[in-house]
Amino acid sequence: MFFRGLLLRAVTAATDARRPVALALACAVSALVFALVHVVDAGSPTALWVVGAGTFVFGLAAASVTAVTGRLGGAMVAHIVFNGLVVVPALLR
């Protein structure tokens, strides 16, 4: 809710550009901050790049869904599924 609900909308509103440019910039900023928050606990340089790249790409996708639909639900469902794809296999070991 913070990244797509607050940050995405705040950057879009603060950007002095036409709407498509403002949305693209807001999606990129939201995805970058999302990725940076997730790499704080990276244990190695390899993990930093893998986790950083993965969460940045996911952040772009989730922000794009929110920007296109104007709703948070799609990004929330995508986040649940994304986390489930990581957690469920770890539990099945």
- Per DSSP, the three-state class of 50 is helix
Contact by Cβ (8 Å): 59, 3: yes
User: pLDDT category, 48, cuts 50, 70, 90?
Assistant: very high
- Rounded mean pLDDT of 22-35? 95
What is residue 41's predicted lDDT score, i.e. its pLDDT?
Answer: 84
- pTM metric for this prediction: 0.86
User: pLDDT category, 42, cuts 50, 70, 90?
Assistant: confident
Domain ranges, ordered by start, for the chain: 2-91
- DSSP string covering 31-42, please? HHHHHHHHTTT-
End-to-end C-alpha distance for the chain, whole angstroms: 31
Above 90 in pLDDT, residue 90?
Answer: no
Above 90 in pLDDT, residue 16?
Answer: no
